């Protein structure tokens, strides 16, 4: 299967053609318009959009990897990742197009949706047919040319040169004038063709998602190879810029695939749909235990609960790593009223877990020799090797949650000795770590898994910052060398930001 695949010249030419197309940005609001019980018709239209949008993004990844700077593009690990993206591009572009009746076309593409169709007045979505010219709308799209400034504010500006491009080149893009979500009638039973196509796309995306699980680890291996070749301990600024762009676009691709897969899993089967219509009428929707989830997005994400999950997981990893009966205390300080907003819980727990893991490690490794020295000073008969780490009392780490009108901010404050001012910029570079021996990067390593080691990859903070920036937030560190570090995680609570597409 994988060994027989070949990256042909014809495929490369097609990829470069798609790489010239413009990506279509998707906002968090669009992602949740499907509702907790998405209609098969809306998923059908979204599947068509995904099958046309993802190849553009995959093609851009192949082109970027082809042009990776300073010889990074020639390394075996980089070539392997590039072949994965090319293979996924080929599979999606070769999927058979759905064949639907004229009657179904009218139901899906009609302007006059009635009988209980769902529309969001705050976000009137254009039709999925390529009949509407959105060139004027695109010029005001805040996602075009997003630039993240260093102070954490997203500065949005448009590029006059790009605006002057002909509308013809823009309209050639397969997703020009289309949107991810489109409302559909609710009072019909969808035909088999709709479910068949949804399953076809679901199966293809599931396969692609699994293929790319090891991308982070494999690219990290490539960067390590580059560092070894160039006999350097730091990543060059050109490599850093490339990796930021690479991983940010990967987050977008994974988000779209994950959302579409989750929506497919949530759609009602034809039998359940008939029963629901019979028992409850066209508006009947049985609430499930996950009624506040739309795909992978939680419309009512409780920040305190997610933070507690991250605390428990980080403490468990810490106890396993250091052989502790109990990790240093982590105090969760939050308002009495639960803070909830629309977000992706998987992203939030990843960011908090990585940051907490760093704080726990810093706290233990900074205070262990000092606390042992203090105990030996108080009891001269004690020897260092006689003191058990479980007898030491470490200062607590504080997780403080605050709610503003625009942002939800989370501060993780530790007394782990801080970071030298000259080293603060380095913590955002890939594969920078203070661990003396970097763990072996296993192919099956998955960044969303909590089986990762306590430290050593040098990827936790840089990728966590990209997760924060993906939906308009940021991650900042302020450190006091000799005392501790405060990490500030800002999350955009307005749910209005679109993807930061290049």
> What does pLDDT average to in each consecutive run of 10 residues of the chain (502 residues)?
77 96 89 91 95 97 96 94 97 94 83 38 33 32 33 35 46 83 86 94 96 91 89 87 94 95 80 54 47 91 96 95 96 91 94 96 96 93 90 97 94 97 89 60 45 60 94 95 98 76 72
276 and 333 fall within a common domain? no
Single out the residue in 219, 254, 283 at which a domain terminates.
283
27 and 134 fall within a common domain? yes
54 and 184 fall within a common domain? yes
Query: Does residue 501 fall inside a structural domain?
Result: no
330-333 vs 397-403, strand pairing mode: parallel
Range of the domain at 341: 298-492
384 and 237 fall within a common domain? no
- Domain of residue 183, CATH code: 1.20.140.20
Burial of 84 from C-beta contacts in 10 A (0-12 / 13-18 / 19+): buried
Q: What integer pLDDT is reported at residue 163 of this predicted model?
A: 42
Q: How many CA atoms lie within 13 A of 342 on its CB side?
A: 19
Q: Which of 76, 74, 83, 78 is nearest to 11 (CA)?
A: 83
Single out the residue in 259, 283, 307 at which a domain terminates.
283
Rounded CA separation 234/237 (Å): 9
Phi, psi for residue 299 in degrees, rounded to 5: -80, -10
383 and 466 fall within a common domain? yes
Query: Does residue 469 fall inside a structural domain?
Result: yes
274 and 392 fall within a common domain? no
257 and 310 fall within a common domain? no
CA distance between the termini of the chain: 33
402 and 447 fall within a common domain? yes
- Domain of residue 408, CATH code: 3.30.565.10
Query: Does residue 242 fall inside a structural domain?
Result: yes
- The dihedral built from the CA positions of residue 200, 344, 318 and 390, taken in this order, carries a sign that is negative
Single out the residue in 233, 260, 283 at which a domain terminates.
283
169 and 305 fall within a common domain? no
243 and 161 fall within a common domain? yes
Q: What integer pLDDT is reported at residue 176 of this predicted model?
A: 84
Query: Does residue 2 fall inside a structural domain?
Result: no
197 and 312 fall within a common domain? no
Query: Does residue 274 fall inside a structural domain?
Result: yes
Query: Does residue 289 fall inside a structural domain?
Result: no
Query: Does residue 150 fall inside a structural domain?
Result: yes
Structural domain count, the chain: 2
Query: Does residue 290 fall inside a structural domain?
Result: no
155 and 274 fall within a common domain? yes
């Amino acid at each position: 299967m994988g060994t027989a695949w070949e990256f042909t010249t014809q495929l490369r030419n097609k990829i470069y053609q798609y790489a010239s197309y413009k990506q279509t940005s998707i906002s968090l609001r669009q992602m949740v318009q499907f509702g907790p019980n998405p209609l098969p018709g809306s998923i059908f239209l979204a599947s068509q959009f995904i099958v046309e949008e993802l190849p553009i993004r995959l093609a851009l990844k192949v082109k970027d990897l082809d042009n990776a700077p300073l010889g990074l593009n020639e390394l075996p690990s980089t070539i392997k990742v590039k072949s994965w993206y090319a293979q996924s591009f080929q599979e999606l572009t070769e999927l058979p197009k759905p064949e639907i009746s004229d009657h179904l076309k009218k139901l899906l593409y009609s302007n006059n949706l009635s009988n209980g169709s769902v529309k969001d007045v705050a976000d009137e979505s254009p039709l999925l047919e390529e009949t509407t010219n959105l060139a004027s709308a695109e010029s005001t799209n805040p996602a075009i040319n997003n630039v993240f400034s260093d102070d954490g504010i997203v500065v949005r500006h448009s590029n006059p040169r790009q605006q002057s491009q002909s509308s013809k080149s823009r309209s050639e893009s397969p997703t020009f004038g289309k949107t991810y979500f489109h409302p559909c009638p609710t009072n019909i039973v969808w035909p088999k063709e709709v479910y068949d196509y949804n399953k076809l796309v679901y199966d293809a995306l599931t396969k692609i998602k699994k293929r790319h699980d090891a991308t982070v680890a494999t690219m990290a291996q490539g960067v390590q190879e580059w560092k070894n070749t160039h006999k350097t301990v730091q990543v060059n600024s050109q490599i850093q810029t490339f990796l930021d762009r690479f991983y940010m676009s990967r987050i977008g691709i994974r988000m779209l695939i994950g959302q579409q897969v989750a929506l497919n899993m949530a759609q009602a089967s034809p039998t359940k749909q008939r029963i629901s219509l019979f028992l409850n009428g066209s508006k009947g929707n049985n609430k499930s235990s996950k009624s506040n989830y739309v795909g992978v997005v939680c419309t009512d994400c409780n920040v305190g609960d997610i933070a507690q999950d991250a605390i428990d997981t980080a403490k468990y990893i810490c106890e396993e790593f250091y052989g502790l009966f109990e990790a240093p205390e982590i105090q969760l300080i939050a308002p009495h009223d639960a803070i909830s907003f629309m977000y992706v819980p998987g992203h939030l727990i990843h960011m908090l877990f990585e940051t907490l893991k760093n704080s726990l490690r810093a706290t233990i490794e900074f205070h262990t020799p000092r606390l042992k020295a203090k105990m030996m000073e108080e009891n001269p008969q004690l020897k260092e090797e006689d003191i058990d780490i479980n007898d030491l009392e470490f200062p607590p780490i504080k997780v403080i949650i605050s709610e503003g009108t625009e942002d939800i901010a989370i501060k993780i404050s530790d007394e782990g000795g801080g970071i030298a001012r000259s080293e603060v910029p380095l913590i955002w570079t890939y594969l920078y770590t203070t661990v003396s021996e970097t763990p072996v990067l296993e192919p099956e390593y998955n960044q969303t898994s909590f089986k990762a080691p306590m430290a050593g990859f040098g990827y936790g903070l840089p990728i966590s910052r990209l997760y924060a920036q993906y939906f308009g937030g940021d991650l900042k560190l302020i450190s006091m060398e000799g005392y501790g570090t405060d990490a500030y995680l800002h999350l955009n609570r307005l749910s209005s930001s679109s993807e930061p597409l290049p």
